[in-house]
Chain A
């Protein structure tokens, strides 16, 4: 699965807007994840996960920054996320099912904040892009 030229253009263009609210979007995505899918909290026993927690905000920023790295190297996502791929495979070992859940919550957050931009075409491009990011992050699992 790889992105068409059109899909890349859509993603890069929307990222311009998304990045202006990057931290808030990261935090909101995680809040949505933990509320809708409480089992995902099992990966964060060491965190204070209450709304507004500094750790939640910091981690949300991290996650969105990584998405941004993938956007900036959209022609070589595997290269851009190589280090993170190893981290997830050997240290974090987050079950692959959770990448879909996080991706979904990110899409919900973006849809809520940018309804006019989130056309069916943009939605499809972003879903595909996040799916590719997820594949890269789980690529070295076994």
Chain B
């Protein structure tokens, strides 16, 4: 179970307030599909994923990225109970979507890189460390109901 200090929560919440969820979601998911092309296996019905620019411009990728990050936004309001927050989604990812939890780690790291790109100097090592904890906690929570 990941425990966040008050300082870490403040760092995460404060940065999140400045994130354009739609844009960041599309970027993070898009980059996952570009950098780790095997992750495209989950998105056969997304249309054109044939090149980096096709992927980054794909409307379904953007829409799904937004969905994923919106869910993360909800989790940020409940950082003391990530497992509870993601219980239903965990079951979904196991039983219906059949997603290897390794992918949650990959996407989490893509999000961290996108945040670094958007926030530059403001994304200090301390801020990154808090966010690595956040995405790790989310990955663990999403894998928690797997069986």
Query: Count the B residues whose beta carbon is within 8 Å of the partner chain — how many?
Result: 25
Interface-side segment among A12-20, A76-84, A112-120? A112-120
Q: Is B69 an interface residue (CB 8 A)?
A: no
Q: Categorize the interface residue count of chain A.
A: 20 to 34
Number of A-B contacts (CB under 8 A): 61
The proximity string for B residues 120-133 relative to A, scoring 1 for CB distances below 8 Å and 0 otherwise, is 11010110110010
- The answer to whether B119 and A112 touch across the interface, beta carbons within 8 angstroms, is yes
Q: Is A91 an interface residue (CB 8 A)?
A: no
**Chain B interface, DSSP helix/strand/loop, else mixed:** helix
Assuming the A-B contacts A28-B125, A31-B125, A32-B125, are A123 and B116 also in contact, with contact meaning beta carbons closer than 8 angstroms in the complex? no
Complex CA–CA separation, A10 to B27 (angstroms) = 20
Give chain A residues whose Cβ lies under 8 Å from the Cβ of B27.
120
The proximity string for A residues 17-44 relative to B, scoring 1 for CB distances below 8 Å and 0 otherwise, is 0000000000010011001110000000
Give chain A residues whose Cβ lies under 8 Å from the Cβ of B52.
119-121, 124
Residues from 39 to 96 in B contacting A, C-beta threshold 8 Å? 52-53, 55-56
Complex CA–CA separation, A89 to B111 (angstroms) = 32
Give chain A residues whose Cβ lies under 8 Å from the Cβ of B55.
120
A28 to chain B, nearest CB (A): 7
Complex CA–CA separation, A123 to B31 (angstroms) = 8
Q: Can you report 29 A-B residue pairs in the complex whose CB atoms are below 8 A from each other? A: A31-B125, A32-B125, A32-B128, A36-B128, A36-B129, A36-B132, A37-B132, A104-B109, A104-B112, A105-B128, A107-B113, A108-B113, A108-B123, A109-B116, A111-B113, A111-B114, A111-B116, A111-B117, A112-B121, A115-B118, A118-B117, A120-B30, A120-B35, A120-B52, A120-B55, A121-B52, A123-B35, A124-B31, A124-B52
